[in-house]
């Protein structure tokens, strides 16, 4: 399983299928790619409707004839914009898309988009041999322990930017609750308002969990 960080909260994960999550690219000053560079995408997952997460998802889904997976309201909004393949879901549900199991989890955050409000969420993506938890934008919440017990994600993608999401202090507690093998910090230093040092998280966690710090365009193979 190859996990490529594209900047902010955007990731391309390649295993049996290629999954793109929260592709905020064209207006992202730290993005490593542009929407037109992505030509191998099987599914596009969007945690919520804010512009720095919905981003270029609709364009990429249409260009790749990819399956668009999101909260019910947001998935139908994408369909109204021309997305042909879409899978609406809601918190607590699991779907199977081409052999990839996707579970939608809660996230403590707001959400809106042109077509409505919806709700923020996260995803546990199970590729069979390995699983990844993209928390979306969220603060730390105690049910992360329940997510760990139910789905046992090996890799956690955690925001650390503070102001709009959890910061480093809260991410340390999230690591404790989730107990993943690997943590990759995200949603930080895209703009001055969310400037953070990911090394703080790495130092605090120590050897209990492998903290992988990726620059946009870098990848980690699990």
Pick the CATH number of 2-213 from 1.10.3720.10, 3.40.50.620, 3.40.190.10, 3.60.15.10: 3.60.15.10
* Mean pLDDT, residues 7-25: 98
The answer to whether residues 104 and 110 touch, using CB atoms and an 8 Å cutoff, is no
**pTM metric for this prediction:** 0.98
CA proximity to 12, closest of 191, 184, 199: 184
CA distance 12 to 41: 8
Give the per-residue pLDDT at 195. Answer: 98
> Is residue 71 pLDDT above 80, yes or no?
yes
Give the per-residue pLDDT at 116. Answer: 80
The whole-chain average pLDDT of the chain stands at: 97
Provide the pLDDT confidence category of residue 118 given band limits of 50, 70 and 90: confident
Give the per-residue pLDDT at 117. Answer: 79
> Is residue 102 pLDDT above 80, yes or no?
yes
Give the per-residue pLDDT at 115. Answer: 76
Provide the pLDDT confidence category of residue 122 given band limits of 50, 70 and 90: very high
Q: What's the half-sphere exposure (Cβ side, CA atoms, 13 Å) at 110?
A: 7
> Is residue 208 pLDDT above 90, yes or no?
no
Backbone dihedral angles phi then psi of residue 41, each to the nearest 5 degrees: -95, 125
- Rounded alpha-carbon distances, angstroms, from residue 146 to 14, 126, 149, 153, 166: 27, 17, 5, 11, 18
Question: How many Å separate Cα 98 from the centre of its chain?
Answer: 19
What percentage of residues in the chain have a pLDDT greater than 70? 100
Question: How many Å separate Cα 100 from the centre of its chain?
Answer: 15
Strand ordering across the sheet containing 2-7: 86-89, 67-71, 43-45, 18-21, 10-14, 2-7, 219-221
The answer to whether residues 48 and 71 touch, using CB atoms and an 8 Å cutoff, is yes
> Is residue 112 pLDDT above 80, yes or no?
yes
* Residue 35 burial (CB count, 10 A): 17
Give the per-residue pLDDT at 114. Answer: 85
CA proximity to 180, closest of 190, 191, 172, 189: 172
User: Alpha-carbon dihedral of residues 106, 107, 110, 115, nearest 10 degrees?
Assistant: -50
Give the per-residue pLDDT at 120. Answer: 97
pLDDT in tens, 158-192: 999 999 999 999 999 999 999 999 999 999 999 99
Provide the pLDDT confidence category of residue 127 given band limits of 50, 70 and 90: very high
The answer to whether residues 190 and 7 touch, using CB atoms and an 8 Å cutoff, is yes
pLDDT in tens, 135-158: 999 999 999 999 999 999 999 999
What percentage of residues in the chain have a pLDDT greater than 90? 95
> Is residue 129 pLDDT above 90, yes or no?
no
């Amino acid at each position: 399983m190859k996990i490529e960080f594209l900047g902010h909260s955007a990731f391309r994960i390649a295993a049996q299928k290629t999954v793109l999550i929260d592709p905020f690219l064209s207006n992202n000053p730290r993005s490593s790619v542009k929407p037109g560079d992505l030509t191998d995408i099987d599914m596009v997952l969007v945690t919520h409707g804010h512009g720095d997460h919905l981003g270029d998802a609709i364009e990429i889904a249409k260009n790749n004839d990819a399956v668009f997976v999101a909260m019910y309201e947001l998935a139908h909004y994408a369909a109204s914009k021309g997305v042909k393949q879409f899978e609406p879901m809601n918190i607590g549900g699991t779907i199977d898309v081409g052999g990839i199991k996707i579970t939608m989890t809660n996230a403590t955050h707001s959400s809106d988009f042109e077509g409505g409000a919806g709700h923020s969420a996260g995803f546990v993506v199970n590729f069979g041999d390995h699983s990844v938890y993209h928390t979306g934008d969220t603060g730390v919440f105690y049910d992360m322990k329940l997510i760990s017990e139910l789905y046992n994600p090996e890799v956690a993608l955690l925001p650390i930017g503070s102001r709009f999401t959890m910061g480093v202090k809260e991410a340390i507690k999230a690591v404790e609750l989730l107990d993943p093998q690997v943590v990759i910090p995200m949603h930080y230093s895209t703009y001055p308002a969310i400037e953070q040092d990911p090394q703080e998280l790495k130092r605090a966690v120590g050897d209990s969990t492998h903290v992988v710090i990726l620059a946009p365009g870098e990848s980690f193979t699990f």
